[in-house]
Amino acid sequence: MASTLYIVATPIGNLEDITYRAVRILQQVDLIAAEDTRHTLQLLRALDIQKPLLSLHEHNEQSRVEEIYRRLQEGQDIALVSDAGTPCISDPGAKLIQALREKKCTITPIPGPSAVITALSATGFTQGGFSFLGFLPVKGKERKQLLMNIAQRSQTIVLYESPHKLIKTLQDLCDACQNPRIVVARELTKIYEEFLVDDIKNLILHFEKIPPKGEFVLIMPPDEKKEEQVTSTQEIIAFLESCKAQGIRHKQAAEQCALQMGISKKKAYEIGLDVFHR
Ligand code: SAM
């Protein structure tokens, strides 16, 4: 059988959050490639597993490709793990996997925890999909552009953030999105796990009083006000279309629409341009 690179998810806090299959694979492989070997050693000790380790982090990932490829060719099975959660999710591994897929290696995921899914699963904001953006760029045009995109969101947005950048990111989100509701999920699966749900301004005040500690996932549901706007535009169009079907003229329909739907005649007339003159 061809040797395999296993992508193994490990706990994001609580050591019990590891699958039977992940433990079996870590027991069976010849080598474990780890983001931080000291960190992974602690997990392996807890699982009573002894294996050779090879470091694979963002600064040496490219140069490890050939070595891992050679070992796979020699018949070794290898597990890739990161410090916590699923490798490649805001963690190293993607370059290695792309390169090994090009070389037609067998790569098998061993699913398990990831902070993004763990946080989302307990917020109730999963209808209509979500966009996971990982960490926002620290500054510059790219950050500004992403903040603008977030302000226009029609889906739930999920972000990772570190404790020392949390307040700045909450402030930027508050400015870009005009004090939206947000869920701050902290220390998931750990002793001090908490979910704070509030307007962002209140959470900024909270973290100014109690400085952020631990690990954070930020979840912003879609902007309900924007959704209402979209619905009401659709309702206006539907109203004007039914007027047109009854033979009512554009100007008169706009007047009726304004009266009935509590909007200005000008707005109803403008939306009606499309309905009556297409
Ligand atoms: N690969 C990991 C995954 O699958 O979630 C993510 C690694 S990324 C370098 C680390 C970030 O994930 C943290 O800064 C935090 O935003 C988030 N994170 C990881 N563990 C967490 C936890 N227990 N509670 C809250 N957020 C967590």
Measuring CA to CA, how many Å separate 31 from each of 1, 5, 77?
17, 10, 7
Q: Which two tokens stand for residue 147?
A: 């903040």
- Reported pTM: 0.83
Pocket test for ligand 1, best of 17, 39, 217 (most atoms within 8 A of CB): 217
Q: Are strands 216-220 and 181-186 parallel, antiparallel or unpaired?
A: antiparallel
- The answer, yes or no, to whether any atom of ligand 1 lies below 6 A from the CB of 188, is yes
Angle at 176 between CA 127 and CA 116, to 5 degrees: 40
Q: Which amino acid is at 158?
A: V
Phi, psi of 270 (to 5 degrees): -65, -45
Please say whether the beta carbons of 262 and 235 come within 8 A: no
Report which ligand 1 atom has the smallest distance to the Cα of 13: 23
Q: Starting at the edge strand that comes first in sequence, how are the strands of the sheet with 216-220 ordered?
A: 130-135, 156-161, 216-220, 181-186, 194-199
Question: Is 182 in a helix, a strand, or coil?
Answer: strand
CA of 12 relative to ligand 1 center, distance in Å:
7
Q: Which amino acid is at 130?
A: F
Residues 6 or more apart whose Cβ sits within 8 Å of residue 199: 179, 180, 181, 182
CA of 132 relative to ligand 1 center, distance in Å:
12
Per-residue pLDDT of the chain (278 residues; tens, 9 = 90+): 579 999 999 999 999 999 999 999 999 999 999 999 999 999 999 999 999 999 999 999 999 999 999 999 999 999 999 999 999 999 999 999 999 999 999 999 999 999 999 999 999 998 889 999 999 999 889 999 999 999 989 899 999 999 999 999 999 999 999 889 999 999 999 999 999 999 999 999 999 999 999 999 999 998 776 655 655 788 888 889 988 988 889 998 888 888 777 777 888 898 889 898 87
- The answer, yes or no, to whether any atom of ligand 1 lies below 6 A from the CB of 218, is no
